[in-house]
Structures are given as structure tokens and as C-alpha cells.
Amino acid sequence: MATSMSAERILSAPVDVFWGPWRTTTTALQQAGWELAVEHDFAHWGYRMVIHHRQMQMWGMSDVVEMSRGYEARYGQNLHPIYIKYMASKLNINIMAPLMAFKPIDAYPQISHQEIKSIEDMVQFATPLVRTKELIVNPDEIGKILELIQQAQLPEQETIRRRERLKASREGCTIDSIPQQVFHAQVLSIAA
């Protein structure tokens, strides 16, 4: 029988980031225009972080950082610092397991009420928030709206997927070949 745990906790509490003699935080990096992504390794209770600044054309990657546990993780205290090990204008990363891939994060602190059902829910950082237009719709209409969107883009989707598969098979996977996700809207329904 699976159990779940519901607990209020802080995601994306500022974590100290070091590169050589420089010190900053994850929140300050994001405020300065850096994009952050994390690859979680729940088997070893750690993660690696990649940072990228488009205008400076710089990439950085950390060593593996041990994830904080218990009280520290829940309230964002005494978090293990991140040490940037590699910094370059281009970074090639070999992803050994398909489940372990870098995913964008939002470095602004947030309070989460998400139910914890599995170890994968024990992340330290929040997923990117959609700071865009909100569409508020009737819950009964969501399926219909999503179907209309899927039908409108269906002819182009297979072409895009085929092009990306071909590119990956020719070049292998580099961190800058992963397409950036841009959120344009979010759909909300108001429960009765």
C-alpha cells in the first residue's frame, strides 16, 4: 500500500554558488539573467546544476551536490553549497540514463503544498513558473480546448519531432541542443 505525505515546504531556497573566488546564490544568478537547470540523481541523493547565460554565451556545470534532507530541506536551511566545476562557452554533456536529464528550475523561493507520493517528489528546486497570460475556463471545457490546440499544431509536430531526432542522431546530445521551453500561457479551471 502506497502512502503519501503532505507537508508545506520551501522550494528553491537560495543556495550559495561558488566559482573560483566568486560567491553568489541561485536566486541572484537567475536575477542576473542566468538560466538554471538541475539533473537529480535520487539513487545517490544528489544533483548537478547547469547554468547558462545567453548574452554572455557562457555555460557552467557543478560537481554533484548532496541533497539536503529532513528539516533543512523542508525549510530551506543549511543547504549544501554548489561549486561550479566547469565554465565554458560550449559544454558537451553525456547523459547516461534517459531518466537523468537536466530540467529547468525556477530559483525564486516558493512555498509548496504538493503531496509527496514518491522520492521523485522530494526535489529541492521548483519547476519554472509560468509568468504569462492566464486563461480561466470551465473545468468541463479543458479537454475540448486542449484537443483544439493539438489539432491545430498536429501537421507541424511530426516534422519538428523528426528534425530533432535526426539532429540528435547526427550530433549526439549537447546541452545547447536541448530546445528551450517557452511558456506562453497557462490554463486554469476554478473548482465549483
Residue 156 Rama label (left phi>0; alpha psi -120 to 50; beta): alpha
- Dihedrals φ, ψ of 40, to 5°? -85, 140
Query: How far, CA to CA in Å, does 159 sit from each of 19, 70, 171, 184?
Result: 41, 46, 18, 21
Per-residue pLDDT averaged across 166-176, rounded?
A: 58
Domain boundaries, the chain: 5-121, 133-189
- Give the pLDDT confidence of 105-136 residue by residue, as tens digits: 888 888 877 777 766 666 778 877 655 566 77
The residue that leads in pLDDT, 46 or 189, is 46
- Give the pLDDT confidence of 5-45 residue by residue, as tens digits: 556 778 888 999 999 999 999 999 999 999 999 988 877 77
Residue 93 is predicted with a pLDDT of 63
The residue that leads in pLDDT, 125 or 182, is 125
- Give the pLDDT confidence of 52-92 residue by residue, as tens digits: 998 998 999 998 888 766 545 555 666 789 999 999 887 76
Over the Cα atoms of the chain, what is R_g?
19
Contact 53, 34 (CB under 8 A): yes
Q: Are strands 103-104 and 35-41 parallel, antiparallel or unpaired?
A: antiparallel
Neighbour tally for 3: CB within 10 Å: 6
Query: How far, CA to CA in Å, does 168 sit from each of 61, 124, 164?
Result: 21, 30, 6
